Amino acid sequence: NAGVTQTPKFRILKIGQSMTLQCTQDMNHNYMYWYRQDPGMGLKLIYYSVGAGITDKGEVPNGYNVSRSTTEDFPLRLELAAPSQTSVYFCASSDTGLANYGYTFGSGTRLTVV
């Protein structure tokens, strides 16, 4: 049982380049989330999804896009990378069952935009 898997672990982008951060989970969770973590700022929600085909914006969606074509996968797309998007990105998932209201996190993607 792998949980939540994120790839790549590290990436350096040049300004204006695009990339997709991959996230997949094998727990059949309906809910998936993308957060960014900046020093001293905690975690900020970028986008989330409550099921396949349904996505919605979080607190800081500008500059990002997501899709959710399957229950397992929730990729995050950066179209025109900017230095302000230098951060650590975490994907998470949760189920909707009564027993567990917490999240399972991936190990993160450290992105640097230069």
Partner 1 sequence: AQSVAQPEDQVNVAEGNPLTVKCTYSVSGNPYLFWYVQYPNRGLQFLLKYITGDNLVKGSYGFEAEFNKSQTSFHLKKPSALVSDSALYFCAVRRTGTASKLTFGTGTRLQVTL
DSSP, collapsed to helix, strand or coil, labels residue 85 as helix
Rule CB under 8 A: which of 64-93 touch partner 1? 90, 92
Kindly tell me which of 14 and 99 has the beta carbon lying closer to partner 1: 99
CA–CA dist 63, 36 (Å, integer)? 12
Rule CB under 8 A: which of 15-34 touch partner 1? 33
Kindly tell me which of 17 and 45 has the beta carbon lying closer to partner 1: 45
Q: At 104, which amino acid appears?
A: T
CA–CA dist 12, 52 (Å, integer)? 30
Give me the residues that bind partner 1 (CB under 8 A), please: 4, 33, 35, 40-43, 45, 48, 50, 58, 90, 92, 96, 101-108
